[in-house]
Chains A and B, each alone.
Chain A
Amino acid sequence: MFFLLARLVQATVVMLCVALVGFLVFQFVGDPVLSLVGQETSVEDREALRESLGLNDPILLQYARYVVNAVQGDFGISYSFNRDVSEMIADRLPATIELVMLSGVLSLLLAIPAGIYTGIRRKGGIAQTIMALSVIGVSIPSFLLGILLILVFSVWLNWLPSFGRGDVAVMFGMRSSLFTWDGLSHALMPAAVLCLFQLGVILRLIRAEMLEVLRTDYIRFAWARGLPGQRVYFRHALKNTLVPVVTAIGLQLSSLFAFSIITERVFQWPGMGSLLLHAIGQSDIPLLAAYLIFVGLVFTISNLVVDAIYVLIDPRIRHGAL
């Protein structure tokens, strides 16, 4: 319990630092006033607007004011959307979450079996092919892959829609576009692009861990005891590869949010990533600040969860042996 509490305090400090760094950076994103007013607006009017938005105050004062408001749940009003930032995020977050979930599930479903297989039959032809493909997956930039997929499946074959999010349906009390065919067809290409990198990384990690564990003494003993292959591979070997793999998956899931920026842009997916790009273009500081805090939150929470899962799957941590 104490362990988790300490982590929570750490997380809060991290969040405060993230917001502070954000505010220092905002000085360089440009002048939001210029993107709000037209070319004919007089110099005095611009100055008055800048003053009323509090942009002339020292940066630390702006930061303090922001933190005080944010603690009370008020993230301000977006300059460019004229709407509550929290409302904006509530609007866009589901789209990103469903994309991240779909690609996360896709990559795990493919990476775990493929990783185990290539770990066991590492000299086989299929394993070699999978490994070669995974190198491509890790190294091809997502914007390029996205545009390629659009060219092939939308422009040439006309099978899948090239942009946007499809129809939304409510199921199990959740609103998601993954519950309709139209929605799924829209989500398929962006999810595939987003999953490819994760797929490569997790697959290679599982393979490497399997190779390492399979060399250990207790596996040799297991073979010597005449245990069936299935039992040796899955019960004894796989279970012990999980600790580093869970860490990696936790971190990868949070970086999916970060990677989704480019994918969302290419497929015009109305999620958090495209919101961020819009905010940067418009120097929309309240929106930028909220996004930074949100991403900080995703990373800290996923780290917390990974820490908690560690305790569950590795008894050595629970008993203080490590």
Chain B
Amino acid sequence: MSKNQIASLAAALAVCTALIAPAQAETLRIASQGDATSLDPHSHNESFTNYFLANVYEGLVARDKDFAITGQLAQSWEQVDDTTWQFTLREGVTFHDGAEFAADDVIFSMDRALSETSNFKHVLASVASYRAVDDMTVEIVTKAPNPILLNDLLDLMILDKQWSEANGAAMPINLQAEEKAFSATNANGTGPFSVVSRAQGEKTTLAAFDGYWGDAGNVTEVVFTPINNAATLVSALLSGEVDLVMPLPLQDIPRVENGAGVKVVSSAEARTMYIGMDQWRDQIIESPVEGNPFLDLRVRQAIAHAVDAQAIIDRVMQGQATLATQYVMDKVNGFNPDLTRLEYNVDTAKSLLTEAGYPDGFEVTMDCSTDRYVNDGQICQATVSLLARVGIKVNLIAQPKAQFFPKVVAPDFGTSFFLLSWTPSTMDALNVFQNVLGTRDLENGVGAWNISGCSVPEADALAAEAAVTMDAAARETMLQDAMALMVEDVCLVPLHVQQLVWGAAENIDVVQHPTFEFPLEYFNVN
């Protein structure tokens, strides 16, 4: 055999192997700092848990590879009138245990999501009634026109009625229940992966579901291990013991960038960080100041001018963030492209403070978590020194989230100056108006996270109108106008939109969504 022949034989072999490769078992080993807190899809509403379970369970609709909403268990849908929707279900779908999927499973899952022990009641908050028209059709009637019903339904996972009832899991887990919570450690969905073994906090193994109705990548097995310690997490990636770490701690980006056989994957996340200022108390708390300086728009503007958000991005976030001009990021519906930030300028800030009657600044206490957001503690430290330049003395209370949240959330709202952030789970700005920006009206579930207590009635009115407007274009304009009003009022000082940063082995293809979803069916091992 000549050299050429050998070379072509080798090439042919290589091609064959490449062709065979997708059929072979491909294991994807993932490590993350947290773990799913439960396998029950209606129990803990925590984003990591929800997105982990979205690989096992499916909803009527889901995000596709390009982040657009498409039918999942619903093949198609049509709007009969402003409030009535009909969903035609997908034929030939089976659960992991082999049971057929049908309309009674959807009705059962909606009942379950609305039951006493569920934490997903908000998903169906706009729904007045629902029924199975026939075996493969479900009708949903909303209380008022709801233009974002599909977005709401993204988080509604469908369980098998028979399986749930047979295993005592007809209701989401009741924390006081004496019986064992079967659904916390067992799962039976229609998704591309089934749960093979589960040891919470140790290791969870998923296997590709043979009977899956849709297409999936070549991953046949997923081994998921939580690794809490950042240094260990990165070492596991560098030593080749795991293929994917999410998220990758920012300080370790250079190590992964310089490492052999590993890469950094990043994209913008839907989380916007912001600084909040008390605008509802007559006297701010934990401060020697008389009255409430934040009630004066000029003081709020001064703070926006004094905080150099770009410096925070460069130094604290290692460049892994983009400047925020408003309270949502650009992929969220209702983002207003015309808005700009108040530019960083110490002199402007000082003169605004002087006009407002605080030429020498004032003293205020800032509340901040240290383990909830990326580098949250350091962001606050940077804010303290930036504000010191304009004479505002900030006493920082940096605390673990377990202390921080009980202090600052409803009903006490026990802070006058704080760092917080929000991810609109529906990817629609209305969610932000209902939770963060709308005038507080806890009775009606509005503004539960409006810790600033800011209030712009015109924006409230626009948001209320957008909530029932079915015309997408008109609705978007309303949300954009409302956003402009909030930004003009400096309800909050927007800082940055953080990046989603993962570390992966070179041969892994991943898909990142702004909401931190990790749809494993789109992942590939090369």
Residues of A at under 8 Å CB distance from B? Answer: 28-31, 34-43, 45, 49, 52-53, 77, 79-84, 91, 147, 150-151, 154-155, 158, 161-165, 265-268, 270, 274-275, 277-278, 280-283
- Tell me if A162 and B241 are in contact (CB < 8 A): yes
Q: In the complex the two chains form, what is the Cα distance from A80 to B175 in whole Å?
A: 9
Stretch at the interface among B94-102, B178-186, B327-335, B459-467: B178-186
Residues of the A chain whose Cβ atoms lie less than 8 Å from the Cβ of B226:
268
Chain A residues with Cβ under 8 A from B477's Cβ? none
Q: Mark B144-167, 1 if CB is under 8 A from A, else 0.
A: 000000000000000000000000
Residues of chain B within 8 A (CB-CB) of A43 are: 410-411, 442, 448
Between-chain CB contacts (< 8 Å), 25 pairs: A34-B402, A34-B409, A37-B119, A38-B122, A39-B45, A39-B425, A39-B449, A41-B45, A42-B122, A43-B410, A53-B175, A82-B43, A82-B175, A83-B180, A91-B199, A154-B235, A155-B239, A163-B225, A163-B236, A164-B203, A164-B225, A265-B228, A268-B226, A270-B202, A277-B228
> In the complex, are the beta carbons of B229 and A265 less than 8 A apart?
yes
Contact flag A274-B228 (CB < 8 Å), given A39-B449, A43-B448, A53-B175: yes
Q: Please, how many angstroms separate the alpha-carbon atoms of A88 and B324 in the complex?
A: 44
Contact of A268 with B228 at beta-carbon distance under 8 Å, contacts A31-B406, A34-B405, A158-B239 already known: yes
Give the complex CA separation of A43 and B200 in angstroms. Answer: 29
Asked whether A281 lies within 8 Å of B402 as measured between CB atoms, the reply is: yes
For B240, the chain A residues whose CB sits under 8 A away are: 158
Residues of chain B within 8 A (CB-CB) of A282 are 37
Given contacts A36-B175, A53-B175, A268-B228, contact A162 B43 (CB under 8 A): no
Are B122's CB and A40's CB within 8 A?
yes
The complex places the Cα of A258 from the Cα of B434 at a distance, in Å, of 46
Is B402 in contact with A283, judged by CB distance below 8 angstroms?
yes
**Distance in Å: Cβ of A36 to nearest Cβ of chain B:** 6
Residues on A with C-beta less than 8 A from B406 are 30-31, 34
CB proximity to A under 8 Å, residues B424-467 = 425, 435, 442, 445, 448-449
Nearest Cβ distance between residue B182 and chain A, in whole angstroms? 10
Distance A124 CA – B386 CA, assembled complex (angstroms): 59
Distance in angstroms between the alpha carbons of A60 and B47 in the assembled complex: 35
* Interface positions of B from 233 to 281, Cβ below 8 Å from A: 235-236, 238-241
- Considering the complex, give the chain B residue whose CB is closest to the CB of A156: B239
- Chain B residues with Cβ below 8 Å from A274 are 201, 228
**Docked CA distance A96–B522 (Å):** 38
B45 touches A38 (CB 8 A): yes
In the assembled complex, B526 has its CB within 8 A of some CB on chain A:
no
Query: Does the CB pair B185–A83 fall under 8 Å?
Result: yes
The answer to whether B239 and A83 touch across the interface, beta carbons within 8 angstroms, is no
Residue pair B175, A162 in contact (C-beta under 8 Å) = no
Contact in complex: B410, A82 (CB < 8 Å): no
> Do the beta carbons of A40 and B425 come within 8 Å of each other?
yes
- Interface pairs A-B: 7 shortest CB-CB: A38-B45, A30-B402, A82-B184, A31-B406, A270-B202, A82-B181, A154-B239
CB neighbours (8 Å) of B400 from chain A are 30
- The reply to whether the CB of B110 lies closer than 8 angstroms to some CB of chain A is no
Chain A contacts for B40, CB-based, 8 A: 82
Task: Using A267-B232, A268-B228 as known contacts, say yes or no to A41 and B119 having CB atoms under 8 A apart.
Answer: yes
Q: Which of B38, B371, B425 contacts A82 (CB 8 A)?
A: B38
| CB nearest neighbor in A for B255 | A155
Interface membership of B4, Cβ < 8 A:
no
Size category, B interface: 35 or more
Q: Say if the beta carbon of B131 comes within 8 Å of chain A.
A: no
Shortest CB–CB separation between residue A160 and chain B, in angstroms?
9
Docked complex Cα distance between A265 and B445 (Å): 40
* B393 adjacent to chain A (CB < 8 Å): no
Residue of A with least CB distance to B434:
A40
B404 closest partner in A (C-beta): A30
CB distance from B180 to the nearest CB of A (A): 7
B173 within 8 Å of A (CB atoms)? yes
Is B63 engaged at the interface, CB distance under 8 Å to the other chain?
A: no
Interface centre among B122, B235, B239, B422 (most CB of A within 10 A): B239
The answer on a CB contact under 8 Å between B405 and A31 is yes
Q: Which of B389-403 contact A (CB under 8 A)?
A: 400-403
- Residues from chain B with a CB closer than 8 A to the CB of A49 are 175
A45 to B442, CA, bound (A): 12
Task: Please tell me if B91 contacts chain A, counting CB pairs below 8 Å.
Answer: no
Residues B231 and A150 in contact, CB atoms below 8 Å apart: yes
Q: Which residue of B has the minimal Cβ distance to A269?
A: B202
How distant is the Cα of A275 from the Cα of B35 in the complex, in angstroms? 12
- Smallest Cβ distance from B236 to chain A, in angstroms? 5
- B82 beta carbon closer than 8 Å to chain A: no
Q: Are A150 and B235 in contact (CB under 8 A)?
A: yes
